[in-house]
């Protein structure tokens, strides 16, 4: 750790105090120096300081007794665990530089402690990320179940609990990142990338505050996506009043305060690793289907998209033929999007004119006019359930129409 940051520390401290600074390893070799010519040389007095674990000073006469040593003050540097990991020496008249010595030593140790904690946290985060990936990729008979559960328990995973996976995809985050980079276009530092990464870390904190239980696991999976394994106890109804939904709404509220948004997919409750593997896929599928059909951010539960999930598995060429046969007559009308929305809403509201009109925010006469137009154009008997369902499916499937390759890519985005 000291070797990694020694040169940066020596240079920055020297600029502040106005004296040359060197940092050595435990062998007394200079690994950081404000005077770069001294890098790699032996600072012999450091060997005594490291051995005795005590600071020492030398004047101009005594310094001649030590190889590579100039007048000044030397102190040992301790790691977070208390071990001596090197030394710091300040060159100059001992009486002049000694007031700086202990302060510099403490500052270096504080900085090292912060870097150690940061790297430990980063390593732990990466381990958690890999763990959640392995849980979502679990294959009975192939994955070592006992080892996987042992790893999971270290992060608070409760094998006896129900888990509901939640997939989160930041909405139009690339546009936000581009805006940040454009703002810093003339800046040659890493400022914009640091800010973007801090934003992603802040989003992870929002997610973890929404799912705070010690058995909940959450991480960033990359590419502006996050996943949560929510220990949901008996929260299996998954209606909009459950804790899972409330937590998801809390996430959207937190993102809104940052002028951001997200699409959130919720899988079904799982009782074991195999079910959880399938539920994780459902969460991402719900997210993708929700984005496809809603054309925007929001909370999407797989239980609300079972029909769409089934329809998405049809071969594109079969799907497109079915759609064209039933939808083509309506596409010649300018108000086709209104007709499509009206018909699917009417079907999804139990064929109720009152409830459908309320949901669409239109007058019942407008709704009735559109249904009449659909009935006449398609020669549909709206009292025939099979006939009505056939057109409902065609109208829903129409959102999938397009090149087959693109559709397959869309539905192969599970991390």
Task: Note down pLDDT in tens along the chain; length 415 residues.
Answer: 677 778 888 888 888 888 999 999 999 999 989 998 898 999 999 999 999 999 999 998 888 888 888 999 999 999 877 889 999 999 999 988 888 888 888 888 888 888 777 777 777 888 999 999 999 999 988 889 999 999 999 899 999 899 999 999 998 888 888 888 877 765 555 568 878 888 998 999 999 999 999 999 999 987 889 999 999 865 655 566 678 999 999 999 999 999 999 999 999 999 999 999 999 999 999 998 888 877 778 999 999 888 888 877 878 888 888 888 899 999 889 999 999 999 999 998 999 999 999 999 999 999 999 999 999 998 899 989 999 999 998 888 887 664 433 333 333 444 4
* Amino acid 398: pLDDT: 83
* Amino acid 407: pLDDT: 36
Q: Could you tell me which residues are beta bridge partners of residue 241? A: none
Structure-token pair, residue 15: 């600029």
Residues with Cβ within 8 Å of residue 413, at least 6 apart in sequence: 284, 288
**C-alpha to C-alpha distance for 71 and 341, rounded to whole angstroms:** 84
* Amino acid 404: pLDDT: 37
The reported pTM is: 0.65
Instruction: Choose among 22, 25, 21, 20: nearest CA to 3.
Output: 25
**C-alpha to C-alpha distance for 27 and 89, rounded to whole angstroms:** 14
* Amino acid 237: pLDDT: 55
Domains of the chain: 2-118 (3.30.450.40), 156-306 (3.30.70.270), 314-410 (1.10.10.2840)
Burial of 245 (0-12, 13-18, 19+ CB in 10 A): middle
Sheet holding 225-231, edge to edge: 217-222, 225-231, 163-170, 262-266, 298-301
* Amino acid 79: pLDDT: 84
**C-alpha to C-alpha distance for 170 and 361, rounded to whole angstroms:** 29
* Amino acid 410: pLDDT: 38
């Amino acid at each position: 750790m000291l070797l990694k940051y020694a040169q940066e520390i020596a240079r920055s401290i020297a600029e502040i105090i106005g004296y040359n600074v060197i940092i050595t390893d435990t062998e007394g070799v200079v690994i950081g120096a404000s005077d770069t010519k001294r890098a790699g040389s032996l600072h012999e007095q450091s060997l005594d300081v490291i051995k005795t674990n005590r600071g020492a000073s030398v004047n101009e006469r005594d310094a001649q007794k030590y190889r590579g040593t100039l007048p000044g003050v030397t102190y040992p540097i301790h790691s977070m665990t208390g071990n001596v990991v090197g030394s710091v020496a300040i060159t100059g008249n001992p009486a002049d530089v000694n007031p700086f010595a202990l302060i510099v030593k403490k500052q270096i140790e504080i900085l090292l402690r912060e870097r150690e904690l940061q790297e430990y946290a980063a390593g732990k985060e990466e381990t958690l990320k890999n763990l959640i990936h392995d849980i979502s990729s679990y294959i009975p008979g192939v994955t070592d179940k006992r080892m996987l559960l042992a790893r999971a328990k270290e992060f608070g995973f409760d094998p006896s609990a129900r888990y509901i996976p939640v997939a989160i995809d930041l909405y139009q985050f690339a546009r936000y990142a581009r805006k940040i980079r454009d703002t810093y276009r003339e800046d040659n530092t890493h400022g914009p990338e640091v800010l973007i990464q801090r934003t992603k870390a802040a989003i992870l904190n929002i997610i973890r505050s929404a799912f705070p239980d010690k058995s909940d696991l959450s991480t960033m999976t990359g590419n502006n996506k996050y996943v949560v394994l929510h220990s949901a106890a008996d929260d299996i109804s998954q209606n909009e009043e459950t804790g899972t939904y409330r937590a998801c709404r809390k996430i959207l509220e937190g993102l809104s305060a940052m002028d951001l948004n997200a699409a959130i997919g919720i899988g079904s409750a799982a009782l074991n690793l195999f079910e959880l593997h399938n539920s994780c896929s459902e969460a991402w599928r719900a997210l993708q289907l929700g984005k496809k059909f809603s054309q925007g951010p929001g909370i999407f539960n797989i239980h609300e998209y079972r029909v769409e999930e089934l329809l998405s598995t049809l071969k594109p060429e079969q799907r497109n033929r079915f759609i064209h046969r039933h939808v083509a007559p309506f596409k010649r009308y300018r108000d086709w999007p209104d007709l499509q929305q009206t018909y699917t809403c009417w079907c999804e509201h139990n064929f109720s004119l009152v409830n459908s009109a309320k949901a669409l925010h239109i007058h019942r006469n407008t709704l009735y006019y559109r249904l009449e137009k659909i009935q006449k154009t398609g020669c549909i008997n709206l009292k025939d359930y099979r006939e009505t369902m056939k057109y409902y499916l065609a109208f829903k499937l129409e959102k999938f129409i397009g090149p087959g390759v693109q559709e397959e890519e869309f539905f192969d985005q599970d991390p």
